[in-house]
Structure 1
Amino acid sequence: MSDQAVLLLRKQLKELSRNPIEGFSAGLVDDCNVFEWQVTVMGPPETLYEGGFFTCNMSFPKDYPNKPPTVKFVSEMWHPNVYADGRVCISILHSPGNDPNGYEDASERWSPVQTVETIMLSVISMLSDPNDESPANVDAAKEWRDDYPAFKKRVARCVRRSQEE
């Protein structure tokens, strides 16, 4: 299974280097390990994150594409769908099958047809449109709902820091 994962990840990396996708750039953390990627996400235009350059790591399991990678921001990130430790919480990164908590339909969760491109486009979409209904970061979601000016100010600080990194 690991050989299939290596081939697939190399193919996806090659495709992204040949045909870059607007909004992010990706590469390996270490050329010897195709399972660890570093991705720079550009803050989407016309959002609070615009102008930011946010670094995150993608860690792929050995049984990829049957299981999803984890995506974790290394840059400071304040967002309802990003845990305090930087881990991204979006449906397509949740293990395949039925949601044991009943929040997500199986069709919204991980599927082996997902690629680095579709994952990162989902992360960019998440930045553009936070889901505060089932937040990973309850404090960010509460601030988003109850004190939007403070939320904006905190995100602006994250954007500035990302530009300095």
Structure 2
Amino acid sequence: MSRKWFTMPAAVHLFLRRGNELLLLRRFNTGYEDGNYSVPAGHLDGGEEVKAAAIREAKEECGIDIDPADLDVVGVMHRKSTDERIDFFLTASTWSGEIVNAEPDKCDELRWCDMDDLPANVIPYVRQAIHNYRVGKWFDSFGWDEQG
């Protein structure tokens, strides 16, 4: 008898750093968390390594190229919202090219923000992941109870 294994979406989120600042993108016209800030992010396409997915998303969303050696995986989150997800968080402070809004149909603002002074409307799990990164917490679960 063949067993059907549980699967869930996996995504990468990229912390592009400039000193103590992170690049935030305000979501627009996506149907999910529109008007709130996130970081460059996207789903793994399948058959795609985590760093490769982050490099692809950086190019698609910000128009920049990142060398795999300049990327570090800094966290993993097992998250529950409307469904269950695994999120990988990576950071880079070196890239080539100029950062631009390469997806104006999905993002209406790019903004560098000091990590000590993030806007109030950062998506909650992204805010938690940024905090985790800053305190060196590599794994977290989010959304499994009322407190998140």
- Where on the TM-score scale, by shorter chain, does this alignment land: which range? under 0.3
TM-score (normalizing by structure 2): 0.26
Q: By percentage of residues, which structure has more helix?
A: 1
Q: Which has the higher contact order (CA 8 A, sep 6+)?
A: 2
TM-score (normalizing by structure 1): 0.24
Larger radius of gyration: 1
